[in-house]
Structure 1
């Protein structure tokens, strides 16, 4: 098992991509922490994992609330004594042209994606540094960490920002053996993305089918959505890589959308 006895916190993991990452980690021997805004759903996910013989616990966590983040991380330490892996995955989407975008929606998007990444990173690094056995910080970026799309100004801005945070964490963390990397998926058909399809159809004045074919997947090489399993395998690679050779990087998993 590639993550035997590792303790991994995955934010926003009661469902979607985060849940797939947490499950992959657990099947590879990790003790996974389902950290989510919805405690009931987080506990249901953790229980389902435990019922199938995997090790998991749930913590309530609003990643924009410093006290709640610190309390959640402290609960993990109380349960497991240490933290090896953080996957900063919690996120939302908001569709709006810039000239109609409300400042409150802009701030909310940046708070969840960037403030959340900062607060959870800071809380975990404290324990990783104290323990002195390294660690892996993984950010959930996007192709929008590299590229822009219409109607998504705060999302694109936040996802670009995660790359900068990752590079800084990689440079500061290296003396403690802590690595940092960013996963940059293309469109994954989660409930978050499914919700965008009718929203973009309305804003762009096109059909939902055209949103999928001519907007979301038009720059892929095969017209296919990325899957949660695809993303989870990259998360496993970053978490299990054994040397400092792979740090400060952003890896696209997007069916060829934005090649570099």
Structure 2
């Protein structure tokens, strides 16, 4: 198993991409801390991991709360004695044109994605530095590279994560920390499913047209990226054996963005 006896914490891990990564890590032998705003949902993931023979713990974590983040990482170290992998995955979305975007909606998206990732990163590095290093993984997006209408706070936050990832790679190298960012295309998660009717209304087109002509228009095959696609990349980055792979953005988007 590629992650045998590694200790991992994943935010936003009660559903969608975060859950897929948590379950895949556990199958690869990692002990997994499932951190989420919804503790009951996190507990359900933990029970499923344990049912399949893995080891996991649930954490209630609001990534915009400095105290909640620090307490969550401390609980993991107290329980298992260290930390090897952290995945900053928690995220939200808001659909609006910039000229009608409320500041509170802008701030909320930036706060969860970017400020939350900073708090998670800082807590992770404090555990990894001086303890053999580790892997810091950020959940970016094709929107870390490109922009789409109606998503300005999300696009801005995902671009910011790219910069944070590269900064961690530069600073963390001497302490044995690698840092990379996964940039998926559209994945059929609850976050994306919620956007389909919102974009349909905002653009005045059908939901089918949103999928065909907006979300998947620039892919090579008209297909969504899958949870398995993303979780496989997350395992690969966590298991990679050297700093040859650090500061990198890994795009998994069916050719929507090529670099």
SS in 2 for 1:130: coil
Q: Deviations over 1:153-177 (max 9, x none)?
A: 0000000000000000000000011
Q: What's the RMSD between the two structures over aligned residues? A: 0.5
**Structure 1: any 5+ residue segments left out of the alignment?**
none
SS in 2 for 1:179: strand
Give 1:83-98 correspondences, 5 Å limit: 83-98=83-98
SS in 2 for 1:137: strand
- The equivalent of 2:42 in structure 1 is 42
Give 1:139-218 correspondences, 5 Å limit: 139-218=138-217
- The equivalent of 1:221 in structure 2 is 220
- The equivalent of 1:2 in structure 2 is 2
Moved over 4 A (4+): none
Alpha-carbon distance, 1:130 to partner: 2.8
Provide the rounded CA distance (Å) in 2 between the counterparts of 1:41 and 1:198: 25
Q: Deviations over 1:106-156 (max 9, x none)?
A: 00000000011100110010110031x110000000000000000000000
SS in 1 for 2:129: helix
Give 1:115-130 correspondences, 5 Å limit: 115-130=115-130
Provide the rounded CA distance (Å) in 1 between the counterparts of 2:249 and 2:157: 14
Provide the rounded CA distance (Å) in 1 between the counterparts of 2:249 and 2:5: 26
Are 2:75 and 1:69 equivalent residues in the alignment? no
- The equivalent of 2:255 in structure 1 is 256
Aligned length: 259
Scaled by the length of structure 2, the TM-score of the pair is 0.99
Provide the rounded CA distance (Å) in 1 between the counterparts of 2:124 and 2:206: 44
